[in-house]
């Protein structure tokens, strides 16, 4: 194996670091091995890697004998990867796609996602993972291990009371998430200005009596003005309400007026736990159905 430092230096010899892509490459081989161990990668796995860059994680994944699909937006990095892993590509062990992982199709038979992702795509990537989980991978995806900005990881798992927000609450609809380890800036090249962390996301496979999309809309609507009481923030229907089957502005207004005097409407969003949000959505749907 070439190792992280050699792979990063080889790519750097071909092109400069692209700051617009948030390129901070992990150069600590022990931490790379840790990420593989966290994901419990085996030869039976088909792993999706988002943003392989110089191939430091790709090399470690391939060494485990699994199949890897990599999606890389940097065309220069794609050429570097093709030159670095020609045998694995020829054997079908590595499939590379040049493009934006947020827009191009993902393979439907992936069972794990392991990636050191650019920080700026963390939130939309979690949304995309959730959509794919619900449509393609409900029975196959078993684990996601990501290296992300520490602040994002804290908000995802709601590590502290101040981290409670729409990101963590909506993620609980589909995932059980935890921070596995924190990673200091000196383990990257170039060094980021913030700490990072490994997070694990495992599908919860929990089923609710109310549409998850409605719960998500309610949570987002409330946290958009998190200092206000629900009576104020939920008075207006969410802008994307029509994306929830069977819901429209008239139905929302009817449900709101039927429960506006409930005690929960005096609460602010950070005062509610996850079960409260489920109950709130169930109540809105049930009250309206009785209209």
What digits encode the pLDDT tens for the residues 205-214?
A: 899 999 999 9
The domain of 284 spans 212-289
| CA pseudo-torsion sign 167, 104, 120, 7 | positive
Task: State the pLDDT confidence band at 19, using cuts at 50, 70 and 90.
Answer: low
Q: How many domains does the chain have?
A: 2
Do residues 54 and 10 touch, judged by C-beta distance below 8 A?
A: yes
Same domain? 53 vs 164:
yes
What digits encode the pLDDT tens for the residues 137-148?
A: 767 899 999 999
Same domain? 233 vs 166:
no
Q: CA-CA distance, 93 to 52, in Å (whole number)?
A: 15
Task: Give Cα separations from 37 to 45, 141, 145, 161 (angstroms).
Answer: 13, 17, 10, 30
| For residue 218, pLDDT beyond 70 | yes
Same domain? 243 vs 179:
no
Q: CA-CA distance, 275 to 156, in Å (whole number)?
A: 17
Between 255 and 291, the higher pLDDT residue = 255
CA proximity to 203, closest of 126, 278, 130, 117: 130
Same domain? 223 vs 138:
no
Same domain? 100 vs 15:
yes
| Lookup: tokens for 116 | 């050191």
Same domain? 91 vs 44:
yes
Task: State the pLDDT confidence band at 289, using cuts at 50, 70 and 90.
Answer: low
Strand-strand pairing, 143-149 and 196-203? antiparallel
Q: CA-CA distance, 195 to 41, in Å (whole number)?
A: 25
| For residue 288, pLDDT beyond 70 | no
What digits encode the pLDDT tens for the residues 251-267?
A: 999 999 999 999 999 99
Q: Kindly give the residue spans of alpha helices, DSSP state H, lying in 143-211.
A: 150-157, 166-171
Same domain? 230 vs 171:
no
pLDDT of residue 15: 80
pLDDT of residue 79: 96
């Amino acid at each position: 194996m070439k190792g992280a430092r050699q792979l990063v230096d080889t790519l750097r010899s071909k092109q400069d670091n692209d700051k617009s892509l948030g390129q901070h490459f992990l150069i600590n081989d022990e931490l790379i091995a840790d990420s593989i161990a966290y994901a419990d990668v085996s030869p039976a796995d088909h792993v999706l890697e988002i943003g392989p860059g110089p191939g430091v994680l790709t090399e470690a994944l391939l060494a485990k004998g699994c199949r890897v699909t990599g999606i890389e937006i940097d065309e220069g990095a794609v050429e570097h990867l093709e030159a670095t892993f020609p045998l694995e590509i020829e054997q079908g062990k590595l499939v590379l796609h040049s493009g934006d992982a947020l827009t191009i199709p993902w393979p439907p038979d992936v069972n794990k996602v392991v990636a050191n992702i650019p920080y700026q795509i963390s939130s939309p990537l979690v949304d995309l993972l959730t959509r794919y989980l619900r449509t393609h991978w409900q029975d196959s995806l078993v684990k996601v291990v990501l290296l992300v900005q520490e602040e994002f990881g804290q908000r995802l798992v709601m590590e502290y009371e101040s981290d409670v927000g729409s990101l963590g609450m909506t993620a609980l609809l589909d995932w059980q998430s935890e921070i596995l380890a924190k990673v200091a800036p000196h383990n990257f090249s170039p060094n980021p200005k913030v700490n990072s962390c490994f997070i694990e996301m495992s599908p919860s496979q929990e089923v609710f009596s109310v549409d998850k999309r409605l719960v998500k809309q309610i949570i987002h609507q409330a946290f958009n003005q998190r200092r206000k009481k629900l009576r104020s923030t939920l008075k207006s229907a969410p802008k994307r309400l029509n994306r929830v089957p069977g819901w429209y502005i008239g139905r929302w207004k009817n449900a709101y007026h039927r429960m506006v005097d409930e005690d929960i409407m005096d609460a602010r969003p950070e005062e509610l736990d996850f079960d409260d949000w489920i109950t709130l959505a169930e109540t809105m749907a049930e009250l309206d159905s009785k209209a």
